[in-house]
Amino acid sequence: MESSNWTEIEFILQGLSEYPKIEKLLFVLCLVMYLVILLGNSTLIILTLLDSHLHMPMYFFLGNLSFLDIWYTSSFIPSMLIHFLSEKKTISFTRCVIQMSVSFTMGSTECVLLAVMAYDRYVAICNPLRYSIIMSKTLCIQMAALSRGLGLLNSLIETVLAIRLPFCGKNIINHFVCEVLAFVKLACTDISLNETVIMLGNIIFLFSPLLLICISYIFILSTVLRINSVEGRKKAFSTCSAHMTVVIVFYGTILLMYMKPKSKDSAFNKLIALFYGIVTPMLNPVIYSLRNAEVHRAMRKLMRRHRFWRK
């Protein structure tokens, strides 16, 4: 297919077109959740930038995670909300590719960043005296940049392989959004290379970071169990609890998607995939602020400052 024909191609995002009432309900539900995502993650970013007590590696990476969640959800939720209320659910080739590549970049980056955050917790607990030396500002920036670079590289490879495919059918994507595997399955040619690359990408960007996270927490657990005082153990575990919860939610929903029994109800499968993409970014700021005294203190300080300027 010549690149000049790309502008002529349109895809139909099927979503739940056969259930218009459910789509109206989903519009309200997803809109509320998206607003919570924007508010919660934006608040965390603002707090980590403005409050000097949060100028630490842990909160630097947390700000990056919130940034990724905002961009990830913003790549598909606004257009999806429009499609929920529209009879015409078409998307151009260019917009579909942009949506697919941005969401894929952010998702891949988040996998790597979670491993980076686990390493940060490992250094903080297993080597506390040298924490500020090891986790220097330069290293933190380099690790965050590496996460984004790897995520972008993975997305670039899979996107380039996808857009070179010829499309000559009805181009109906059986999903709410332009998802890479659903996209390549519409091609009227052999897609074994694309499927292999997607599978390898999933292994590298899902399970390699998970392995590094598990190794980090094995060392953390070993160190914590050697602490004599109960109070010391509680304090050590509390510094990791938010990250562990985020990892469990993130990988738990992925495992739920891929290990659940195959359902003949495609609507159910699409809803599971949809809520995987929305629920995790919504829960991240809640998890990190729920039992975090430093975030609570920064929030109170920000609110007092806001009231002062209003006067």
Which DSSP symbol is given to 53? Answer: G
Mean predicted confidence (pLDDT) in 103-124: 93
Residue 38: is its pLDDT beyond 50?
A: yes
Both tokens of 117, joined, read 């955050």
Percent over 70 (pLDDT), the chain = 89
pLDDT confidence bin for 2, thresholds 50/70/90: very low
Whole-Å CA distances, 98 to 69, 89, 92, 160, 183: 17, 17, 10, 11, 12
Q: What is the pLDDT of residue 234?
A: 82
pLDDT (tens digit, 9 = 90+) per residue, 190-211?
888 988 998 898 888 888 999 9
Question: Would you state the pLDDT for residue 1?
Answer: 42
Alpha-carbon span 5 to 232, nearest angstrom: 64
How many whole angstroms from its chain centre is CA 140?
19
pLDDT tens string 224-251: 888 888 887 888 787 888 888 888 888 8
The pLDDT of residue 261 is 57
Task: Indicate the range of 76-80, 174-178, 235-239 predicted with least confidence.
Answer: 235-239
Q: Indicate the pLDDT class of residue 4, thresholds 50, 70 and 90.
A: very low
Residue 311 has pLDDT above 60, yes or no: no
Tokens 């995502």, residue located: 37
Taking 70 as the threshold, does the pLDDT of residue 258 lie above it?
A: no
Decide which of 139 and 19 is more confident.
Answer: 139
92: exposed, middle or buried (C-beta count within 10 Å: 0-12, 13-18, 19+)?
middle
Statement: residue 257 has pLDDT above 60 = yes
Q: pTM here?
A: 0.88
